[in-house]
């Protein structure tokens, strides 16, 4: 990687939020990347779409509810959030069920966007 | 883009998602991912269909370790570790799917 200009980073999230640490770790890396002024986007695929489900109440499992962080991402200039339509539909969800505004893309559109990235990290 | 998959298609949906999303470039199957490259496995038809869009490779040491190097689907290219490195170097980007 050269020092010249920001790179396009995409973080691909494919895991549900509390069963494993991946979703939280991805958020941490997203925030670090944004702090380095990179061009950051997030994609939510498969069970990753559950990370954005509205109304998470984690008191009962004594775990930090990190879903409000997705709403704060635009404060870090992370505004490109993509959700794969097929994954959303396969889980009986719609855009109205999500905690943030996202762009919903078909599989092929998301694949093309991935091809345009300099760096893609999978979580 | 080079897509790298290391999980068996019977255990995880990773391969299925890659085949749905990836539009062009290459797919490299490593570790338990190599089972997808074997004749008669449940993902064979989907893998064959994707070969119109993606070049498919499988890591030979992982095939050999699992005793399936003689069952590789036609059109899948076995590569050694040096071939793995070449693939990474030849593609502008790569994604190791979790």
Residues A32-52 have a mean pLDDT of: 95
The model's pLDDT over A61-89, given as tens digits with 9 standing for 90+, comes to 999 999 999 999 999 999 999 999 999 99
Per CB-CB distance under 8 Å, the chain B contacts of A7 are none
Candidate from B14, B20, B23 with C-beta closest to A112: B23
Do the domain assignments include residue A2?
Answer: no
| Domain spans of chain B, in order of start | 2-96
Instruction: Tell me if A116 is assigned to some domain.
Output: yes
Q: Domain count of chain A?
A: 1
Residue A67 lies in a domain: yes
Q: How far apart are CA B7 and CA B59, in angstroms?
A: 13
- Asked whether the predicted pLDDT for residue A4 surpasses 90, the reply is no
User: Which among A14, A108, A115 is the nearest to B17, CB-wise?
Assistant: A14
A29 at interface of B, judged by CB pairs closer than 8 A: no
Q: How much is the average pLDDT of B6-26?
A: 97
At residue B92, the 3 state secondary structure works out as coil
Q: Which CATH number fits domain B2-96: 3.10.129.10, 3.30.310.50, 3.40.50.720, 3.40.1260.10?
A: 3.40.1260.10
Q: CATH number of the domain that A114 lies in? A: 3.40.1260.10
Q: How far is CA A39 from the centre of its chain?
A: 14
Cβ distance of B93 and A123 shorter than 8 Å:
no
A24: in domain:
yes
| pLDDT higher than 90, residue A1 | no
pLDDT of residue A5: 83
Please give the full DSSP string across B28-80, using - where no structure is assigned. EE-GGGGGGGBTT-TTHHHHHHHTTT-EEEEEHHHHHHTT-GGGBPTTPEEE-
Q: Are B26 and B56 in contact (CB under 8 A)?
A: yes
pLDDT of B84 strictly over 80: yes
Domain annotation covers residue A89: yes
């Amino acid at each position: 990687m050269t020092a010249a200009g920001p790179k396009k980073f995409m973080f691909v999230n494919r895991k549900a939020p509390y069963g494993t640490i991946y979703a939280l770790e991805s958020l941490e890396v997203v925030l670090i990347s944004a702090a380095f002024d990179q061009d950051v986007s997030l994609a939510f695929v498969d069970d990753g779409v559950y990370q954005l489900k509205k109304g998470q109440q984690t008191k009962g499992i004594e775990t930090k509810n990190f879903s409000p962080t997705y709403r704060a991402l635009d404060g870090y200039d992370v505004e490109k959030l993509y959700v794969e339509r097929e994954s959303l539909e396969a889980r009986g969800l719609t855009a109205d069920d999500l905690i943030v505004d996202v762009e919903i893309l078909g599989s092929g559109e998301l694949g093309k966007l991935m091809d345009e990235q300099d760096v893609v990290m999978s979580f | 883009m080079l897509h790298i998959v290391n999980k068996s298609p019977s255990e995880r949906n990773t391969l299925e998602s890659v085949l749905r999303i990836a539009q062009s470039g290459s797919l490299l199957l490593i570790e338990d991912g190599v089972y997808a490259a074997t004749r008669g496995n449940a993902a064979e038809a989907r893998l064959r269909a994707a070969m119109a869009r993606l070049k498919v490779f499988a890591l030979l040491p992982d095939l050999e370790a699992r005793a399936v190097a003689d069952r590789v689907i036609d059109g899948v290219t076995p590569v050694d570790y040096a071939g793995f490195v070449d693939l990474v170097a030849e593609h502008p980007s790569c994604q190791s799917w979790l």
